[in-house]
Amino acid sequence: MSIVDLRHGSAEEVLSWTYKRFRRVALVASFQAESMVLIDMACGVVEEPEVLTLDTGRLHEETHDFIDRVRMRYPIRLRILSPDAGELDAMTGEHGTMQFRRSVALRNECCAVRKVNPLARALLDYDAWITGLRREQTPTRAETPVVAGDPGHGGITKVVPLARWSRAQVWDYLRAHRIDHHPLYDHGYTSIGCAPCTRATEPGQSERAGRWWWEGDSDKECLLHPPLDADGQASLRGVRVSVPLGGARSTLRP
């Protein structure tokens, strides 16, 4: 299947192509609804998909409990990524533990230390990574390609099988396959991240309105999926990262 065909292929076809094309594939999961769709599909394609997840040190207790439930059901090889202790100590020593409430720049720095840097270090070991983004989630994700080189991670291939899916399609899949969902959805959450930075949403609000709600109409991104600048490079808005995210490594060759 060509890259052009993948733009219109099903999520299952995109996943199958990915695991056939690349030897080292990471499925990066937050264990939200989209992650569960991808884990279920991936386990039907390969015997033991490798799943990476970020333990930021600030996750809900319900998230940790749910991860254990998923490990009991699916034959995944789970790799849990944590922040570098030195980076974390330096950040909290300078700004305290609630810096993210004071400005978008400080929130981005917290996300860089707890999420962006650990993932960047881990992805150095892979040729491609799979994520559960959907275009309808935010305006900044509206043009997300299904398959593309990822300039934010050295040019490895970023695969987004659910890019064209709606929220309704995700939940229809979970119900049809009798897949458990994160318990916080039953308490009004529509997007789930770190506990201090996520809350339930009100009817009619956007899916990610509960993320960093004190920021108002920000783009609701944590820089794991930064928008690209005019040169096709990841825009990190001045945030210092400990891993060189650019580079010439590229595994996508249409």
For residue range 112-128, what is the model confidence (pLDDT) as tens digits? 999 999 999 999 999 99
Which amino acid makes up residue 5?
Answer: D
Say what the pLDDT of residue 65 is.
98
Tell the CATH superfamily of the 3-182 domain: HUPs (3.40.50.620)
pLDDT tens sequence across 167-225: 999 999 999 999 999 999 999 999 999 999 999 999 989 888 999 898 887 666 777 77
Let me know the angle formed at the C-alpha of 48 by 42 and 52, rounded to the nearest 5 degrees. Answer: 75
Are 247 and 154 in contact by the 8 Å Cβ rule? The answer is yes
Backbone φ and ψ of 25, nearest 5°:
-120, 130
Query: What pLDDT was estimated at residue 134?
Result: 93
| Residues of the chain with confidence (pLDDT) below 70 | 1-4, 218-220, 226-254
Q: What local confidence, expressed as pLDDT, does residue 154 receive?
A: 87
Q: Dihedral through CA 141, CA 248, CA 119, CA 75, nearest 10?
A: 90
The DSSP annotation for 23-37 comes to SSEEEE--SSHHHHH
| pLDDT given at position 30 | 97
222 included as an active-site residue: yes
Kindly provide the residue ranges of all beta strands, DSSP E only, lying in the chain, ordered along the sequence: 25-28, 50-54, 77-81, 128-130, 147-150, 156-159
The domain spans of the chain are: 3-182
Q: What span, in angstroms and rounded, lies between the C-alpha atoms of 187 and 134?
A: 22
Q: With CA atoms as reference, report the closest residue to 207 among 133, 107, 104, 136.
A: 136
Catalytic position from the list 111, 194, 197, 222: 222
Specify the pTM.
0.87
| pLDDT score of 122 | 97
pLDDT of residue 221: 74
147-150 sheet: strands from edge to edge: 77-81, 50-54, 25-28, 128-130, 156-159, 147-150
